[in-house]
Structure 1
């Protein structure tokens, strides 16, 4: 006997039964026709008609808002017209109508209108609408307004916290995102799956490994499924926090590995740690598993080849991507190839690749070649690339600093002075070296020659001890790395107070013997620091992991995982 299951019919008073035309509406043009029909027939006076029109407008705005400014403009005009009808008909007191009006304004980016309506019509008790308003400010990049609104909320839901944490992380306010996460734990709203996915990028960026471990443990204890999305975020976190073996462990524990994002996370992580052969192995495993590599996966595997100097393998994979798979290279793929070729000394080939690109090279690509020119002493090409950069990106400090450094490396102090004067004229400032270390969940940040830390005296004493012990094993400061016109003693002193050395000194006085130290640095580690940290790892019997702007360096027993190729 067959059982026929009937779909419940809408209630006679349900809006979709009263106005079925709206539920069947497919386009904005169709909506306008229905709107006109309602006005002509007088149905617009029905209390639910305007509400249903607004609801449709909100949903269609959400679907189509990504298709450029014109859609926003069209939506906002329609929204204002409906708002006018709502006021005229006296329906503005209906909370459903008001809520959808606010949503329309928010989705169109008209936050001033949304703000006025939100407060004028006393919608403060609607927690969902508070979240919509906060999210609207976050989407506009106005974190100050979103934070002020969030702080004034009478009741905060888990969605409220998630919007703020995610917004801070996506807008580059990583410390604020973590602070918000800590504040959330002090309240009575427990984190959920979305919270963990939202905070992990901030943890990754700051290298806050202890907090990352806590997030992982929280997920396991609370039986939050570590699926491909959360798993990928954890893989990325462990990779960027220096625990690549733990990242591999998380990867192997994910049951469903059909998402290219998961493979991209592990391949990119292995690449950052210089484990190019492992990255290539995972690249082949991915294809054997029937997962088609995305363009992001190719970026990761090409980056792995670049970090390890695997020129032929990189060329082969790039050729396969373009000519066999048929993927159109993105600017990032060109960047990986230029970096790969430039590091290996194939400067002319790298330059030709740039010249033959179908798109204008960005500053990342040009800086990669410029850095390679400095590395291999090709001053002529370096000057040419630097001038391109200065012309296209006149206020970016990187090209000026690189050119100044090249001049300094060959003793051309007159050239250095000219570049520095140009920077002063344009008010261009060099990014200061900055390093940070996490201890007991607290991130300690240090700048070059920084003496502002509460334990500055102890740090200074440890720096002196480090210097003495380094000299005792034959270390001599590499003053060629100080590209300033000063005497030898001043150069040695300048090297002594690089930010990563200060962070390591703090770590040595703040942790037990043999405790590994993990440092994050905003710039590329210099040759002198690289050489001295290798010796420090042996002298103090410490494993020291440094993440610089490009990659990870694992220092242990006097050697580095990069094999001095970075």
Structure 2
């Protein structure tokens, strides 16, 4: 008994969701014994493209797309554009996107988010305005992406324009869009609008919304306010996640609250069930480094060994102004961990100049 198209699609989609490439390949191989169903049915082909794209097998995704003998629909074209974009093959993705006979908002979102993930916000912004010119209504995914683009280049004017577009579409009250707006205003230094956005959202904010507001103050160097908001979140009965605590530790660093920050780091596991990540450790090193306690920071990282990772050492390197001996020693270690990182080379040059 051979499986039908619905069964095959469900199996492939399950593999894609779980990131189980081996099982997905096995399902694909088994199709050969069921009459070449992947060639004759668009839904199966689309699912295979999605599977290979998510599992970083762009060439295989392209092969499936090209081998589909059935009529390719907008989902097929969108799937291959997304697969290529996810794998940083944006020139190919853009070429296929431009050749699409029909495009919908999902197609536009696939290429726009691809550019954002590749740290190319200007290209994403250009596509957004082209999308508007072609009369394609944006959805929440589009607006979240564009607000991230505005935040990433600290373009408050663009952020305000996108905000006005969300209001025109009546989507500014959406929780995901609202959180993206809050984050954009905070990262662009407009904490007043971040607060206004926060209070304009539905009551009973979740941890993501609270974390975005905390990050807004922390990003702007207002560590005291960030900690005040953090305590407000706890009083509201909302427990932090790892992202929240990165902002909290960063806030402590900005105001020189070493002991308070160290207390958060030491208790995050027992109080909130969160194990310190490389980001948390890097914040702890920055906390000590900004206070001039470089020897303690170095000893802390040496005790952590591999847990500290490259980020912690890079953070310590940035704090070594005036301590050429320590900087030279740490620079050697940083370059061994990540020899092609441009920022580390710049930091080292500035310190040793």
Question: Normalising by structure 1, what TM-score?
Answer: 0.58
Match of 1:79 in 2: 28
> What secondary structure does 2:138 align onto?
coil
Match of 1:224 in 2: 171
Match of 2:6 in 1: 52
> What secondary structure does 1:341 align onto?
helix
Match of 1:387 in 2: 332
The CA deviation at 1:323 is: 4.2
- What do the CA deviations read for 1:432-470 (whole angstroms, capped 9, x no partner)? xxxxxxxxxxxxxxxxxxxxxxxxxxxxxxxxxxxxxxx
Match of 1:557 in 2: none
Unaligned runs of 5+ in 1: 1-37, 39-43, 66-70, 409-566
Larger Rg: 1
Aligned mates of 2:67, 2:313 — CA distance in 1: 52
Aligned mates of 1:158, 1:404 — CA distance in 2: 46
The CA deviation at 1:198 is: 2.0
State whether structure 2 residue 153 is matched by structure 1 residue 209. Answer: no
Aligned mates of 1:384, 1:119 — CA distance in 2: 53
Aligned mates of 1:266, 1:207 — CA distance in 2: 17
Aligned mates of 2:343, 2:63 — CA distance in 1: 44
Unaligned runs of 5+ in 2: none
Match of 1:188 in 2: 135
> What secondary structure does 2:306 align onto?
coil
Match of 1:453 in 2: none
Map residues 165-314 of structure 1 onto 2, 5 A cutoff: 165-314=112-261
Aligned mates of 1:156, 1:380 — CA distance in 2: 58
Q: 1:166 to 1:124 in 2, by over 3 A?
A: farther
Aligned mates of 2:348, 2:88 — CA distance in 1: 34
> What secondary structure does 2:308 align onto?
coil
The CA deviation at 1:320 is: 2.9
CA contact (8 A) 2:140 2:176 kept: no
Q: 1:155 to 1:395 in 2, by over 3 A?
A: closer
CA contact (8 A) 2:45 2:68 kept: no
CA contact (8 A) 2:252 2:287 kept: yes
The CA deviation at 1:318 is: 2.1
Match of 2:45 in 1: 101
> More displaced, 300-309 or 312-321?
312-321
The CA deviation at 1:84 is: 4.5
CA contact (8 A) 1:239 1:270 kept: yes
Aligned mates of 2:108, 2:349 — CA distance in 1: 46
Q: 1:92 to 1:74 in 2, by over 3 A?
A: closer
Query: If each structure's strand is expressed as a fraction of its own residues, which one has the higher value?
Result: 1
> What secondary structure does 1:248 align onto?
helix
Query: If each structure's helix is expressed as a fraction of its own residues, which one has the higher value?
Result: 2
CA contact (8 A) 1:305 1:311 kept: yes
Aligned mates of 1:233, 1:343 — CA distance in 2: 30
State whether structure 2 residue 341 is matched by structure 1 residue 396. Answer: yes
Aligned mates of 1:264, 1:200 — CA distance in 2: 17
Match of 2:99 in 1: 152
- What do the CA deviations read for 1:352-398 (whole angstroms, capped 9, x no partner)? 21112153433332122122221xx2222222212212332233344
Match of 1:35 in 2: none
Aligned mates of 1:245, 1:62 — CA distance in 2: 42
Structure 2 residue aligned with 1:355, among 302, 316, 325? 302
Aligned mates of 2:80, 2:350 — CA distance in 1: 48
Aligned mates of 2:39, 2:283 — CA distance in 1: 58
Matched residues, number? 350
Q: 1:105 to 1:133 in 2, by over 3 A?
A: closer
The CA deviation at 1:123 is: 4.7
Q: 1:247 to 1:258 in 2, by over 3 A?
A: closer
Aligned mates of 1:271, 1:92 — CA distance in 2: 51
CA contact (8 A) 1:209 1:241 kept: yes
Map residues 327-346 of structure 1 onto 2, 5 A cutoff: 327-346=274-293
Aligned mates of 2:159, 2:61 — CA distance in 1: 37
Question: Normalising by structure 2, what TM-score?
Answer: 0.91
CA contact (8 A) 2:182 2:213 kept: yes
CA contact (8 A) 1:73 1:108 kept: no
Aligned mates of 1:389, 1:302 — CA distance in 2: 23
The CA deviation at 1:83 is: 3.7
CA contact (8 A) 1:228 1:259 kept: no
